Each structure stands twice: as structure tokens, then as C-alpha cells.
Amino acid sequence: MRKWTGAVPIAAFAWAATMAEAHEGEHDPNDLSFQAATPILDVASVEASIDHYTTRLGFTTSWDWPEGDDKTFAAVSNGAVTLFLAETEGTIDPTWVFFDVNSADHVHAAYVEAGATIVEAPNDKPWGSREFLATDPDGNVLRIASPLPHDEEGEEG
């Protein structure tokens, strides 16, 4: 059971304020395209997860709720990416999140140096990307990928 149910109005307000600022002057009510996606990851402890994402995975805390101790909901960001962390009682249902980065090898090296849990080393995939897998303390899987370089003739490699 999620402990953050009361945080939903706070999260919605924070999200709305952020999106309003990001898309100021761009609102077209007839445009059905999505503007962003923010995964909500179930975690056993928001405070422990904030620590992990900020010290090992290169994220910063955008905001958390409630103020003070015993946080149950938070947003962490890295570049254009935001993740919501939702404290959950009982069984955690881990999920996967795919991240597109400039260099999977550089991110991997930084994660290894910071002590992140790597479950699959960087490797080339047949669909044209170089990827590795890391996990957070709750088993959520972070799939980090960058495009394979192309030679002058457009071939991968």
C-alpha cells in the first residue's frame, strides 16, 4: 500500500507549476502529443532512495514531501529526466526505466566509481545501442543506453 496518497495533491501542484513554467506560451489545447513522462517508482524508504539517487546515480532532489523528516514522496532529476519516488508499505513491485544518455560507458564508469549496483556491464545490442543495467536498493532497474557510433558509410561500429 502506498503511503504517499496524501502527497498526490502536493505532487500534482509541484508538477503543474513545473510544467506551466516549462511550456509557458506553448499551450495548444488541440495538440494531443505528450510533453513528458515521469515514472513513479515504489520504494521502501524515500529518504534512503533520495540518498542513493543523489550520491550514486547523479540525480539531484527537485522537491520532497512532507517538509522535514519522514518523507513519503519525492522528485529527483538529472538533465531533462525526473523520477518520482513513492514510499510504499509491504511488497515493492520493481519496474524498469530506460534512459537515453550521450555515453553509456561514461555513465557506467561514474556509477561504478560511486558504488552503484551494476547488474549488466555495458554491451552492444543488435538494435544499435550500447547499454548497461543498474538497480536501486528496491530492485528498480535502470537501463542506460547510448547509440552506437556510425562509421562514415552509416554502418554501426
Residue 18: pLDDT over 70 = no
Domain range enclosing 17: 1-25+36-93
In this structure, the answer to whether residues 56 and 10 fall within a common structural domain is yes
In this structure, the answer to whether residues 43 and 54 fall within a common structural domain is yes
In this structure, the answer to whether residues 100 and 70 fall within a common structural domain is no
In this structure, the answer to whether residues 99 and 42 fall within a common structural domain is no
Cα distances (Å, whole numbers) of residue 104 to 82, 95, 97: 18, 20, 15
Asked if residue 69 is part of any domain, the answer here is yes
Asked if residue 7 is part of any domain, the answer here is yes
pLDDT average, residue stretch 85-98: 94
pLDDT digits (tens, 9 = 90+) for 123-132: 999 999 999 9
Report how far residue 111's alpha carbon sits from residue 144's, in angstroms, rounded to the nearest whole number. 11
3-state helix, strand, coil in the chain (%, to 5): 25, 35, 40
Residue type, 53: Y
Q: What is the mean pLDDT of the chain?
A: 86
CATH of the domain at 132: 3.30.720.110
- The set of cell numbers assigned to 129 is 545501442
Q: Are 72 and 20 in contact (CB under 8 A)?
A: no
Report how far residue 157's alpha carbon sits from residue 149's, in angstroms, rounded to the nearest whole number. 6
In this structure, the answer to whether residues 17 and 45 fall within a common structural domain is yes
Residue 15: pLDDT over 70 = no
| Total number of domains constituting the chain | 2
Asked if residue 30 is part of any domain, the answer here is no
Entry pTM: 0.80
Residue 120: pLDDT over 70 = yes
Instruction: Indicate the pLDDT class of residue 42, thresholds 50, 70 and 90.
Output: very high
In this structure, the answer to whether residues 124 and 110 fall within a common structural domain is yes
Asked if residue 11 is part of any domain, the answer here is yes
